[in-house]
Amino acid sequence: MSPAGCSHVNGYKVDNWKQNLRVIYQCFVWSGTAETRRRKAKSCICHMCGAHLNRLHSCLYCVFFGCFTKKHIHEHAKNKRHNLAIDLLYGGIYCFVCQDYIYDKDMEQIAKEEQRKAWKLLSVISVPSHLCFFMSTGIGEKYTTWEPTKRELELLRHNPKRRKITTNCTIGLRGLINLGNTCFMNCIVQALTHTPLLRDFFLSDRHKCEMQSNSCLVCEMSQLFQEFYSGHRSPHIPFRLLHLVWTHARHLAGYEQQDAHEFLIAALDVLHRHCKGDTTHDNGKKANNPNHCNCIIDQIFTGGLQSDVTCQVCHGVSTTIDPFWDISLDLPGSSTPFWPLSPGGDGSTVNGESHLSGSTTLTDCLRRFTRPEHLGSSAKIKCGGCHSYQESTKQLTMKKLPIVACFHLKRFEHSAKLRRKITTYVSFPLELDMTPFMASSKESRMNGQYQQTVDVLNNDNKYSLFAVVNHQGTLESGHYTSFIRQHKDQWFKCDDAIITKASIKDVLDSEGYLLFYHKQFLEYE
């Protein structure tokens, strides 16, 4: 394309071209509603080969979709002399005469306006993986797309070579010095710094501190992310982080060994409280999570747990929804009776987990967690329907899933009679589907409408494992390590200052104490 720009767009700018272009963006590119997304999924297929991938483009002159990769859109352009087409994934406009993507001020303005409209309509559950998460939650109005400054344009002209992240890249991998029984902190820091959306938030400098003193844990985490992704290979010394944790969570102060799970919850709580400057309140609307908070911690980690208490006499149901940052799961071998359900002994597979005879899986633990529980005569509740105290059953299900699901396997048992560690092996999958444990699935089953088939257009309940925290040793004397995922199927073991390559088998064979899963369709690397 010449420096003056593409001259062929002038032939397109006739009659109602602006309205026509807006309709294309609304219906086939920035699909902001469920209806337009369904329409796009059904109608956007190549008119020649029927494929919906291969960089699909739409002709701007007529209703024709064609593959760019297989040059079906090129054939159409040549035969019909329709020189302009739009990329249905990114919205760029291609000129077949110039043989390049073009820039036109008027078209770009329409694209931006329609994209912003779509961002307003999008909720978290409908974001395509290639779009920035922060746009999907309404923050797109607060944080607009990045455009280079004059200084940045100058730098780009002098440095045109693009740097690529290769699969063997070690940026983001950095050991942490143990400051005296601080492995419990180090393993959680490794998990947090490799949480995809949290990483993208901090590396895009989105934190706006409103604290008066130099004691903001979010500022320290932001600095920590900069240190991790700076490319330095020497182990980092997290002394300021430790000091701030001692300051804001005094029960964790001192050089005694602490519980990694307890540290995780305390850290999320302090980060949540220190994120006040990062919240948004667009048009007074509440945030889309049970904490009704728009801080990055609640957007990523907060889910909604539904509790249904059913009266055994009138079958009236009382429902409450509570926020959660993690799910604590009982294990076989504890003093709490375990539900030995399932496909455990028949060699079947659920959620990609292989069931060996007598073994327990994460799915088993989740089934037990969401099973109906009879509360008994000693825990009668006052029924709103019967107006008297009655026996009841209680069932927990997931009303709203968080972006990051953290599962805490309760390996440390503390009671009046004993204190011990439960070493029962629990197998867990690389990919997890939470659909069976949703409140909506329970309601569908009760109505006789539940089907096991999964809607291919809605993968919102599917997760990928990205971090595992393990505890070695006894209750009195132990050590924490973690496995973190650097790239797809590429894992590393973090043992304080030492980081070594790990296999997927190493990860899945580990005992497992804290399991971190990330929503699949919101992951991008």
Q: Which residues are catalytic?
A: 183, 479
CA–CA gap between residue 269 and residue 294 (Å, rounded): 14
Instruction: Tell me the residue ranges of DSSP E strands in 312-445.
Output: 317-324, 327-329, 349-350, 353-354, 360-361, 373-374, 381-383, 388-390, 392-400, 404-409, 412-414, 419-421, 426-427, 431-433
Among all chains, which residue has been given the structure tokens 């200084």? 151
Which region holds residue 180: left if phi is over 0, alpha if psi is between -120 and 50, else beta?
left
Phi then psi for residue 433, to 5 deg, are -110, 115
Instruction: Tell me the residue ranges of DSSP E strands in 26-161.
Output: 56-59, 65-67, 84-87, 93-95, 100-102
Residue 471 near residue 260 (C-beta atoms within 8 A): yes
CA–CA gap between residue 106 and residue 85 (Å, rounded): 16
Helix (H), strand (E) at residue 111 = helix 105-121
Residue 373 near residue 395 (C-beta atoms within 8 A): yes
Q: How far is CA 319 from CA 142, 367, 380, 382, in A?
A: 35, 20, 16, 14
Q: Which of 123, 129, 52 is nearest to 488 (CA)?
A: 129
CA–CA gap between residue 107 and residue 95 (Å, rounded): 13
Residue 451's contacts (CB-CB under 8 Å, 6 or more residues apart) are 444
Helix (H), strand (E) at residue 243 = helix 239-248
Residues for the chain: how many in total? 525
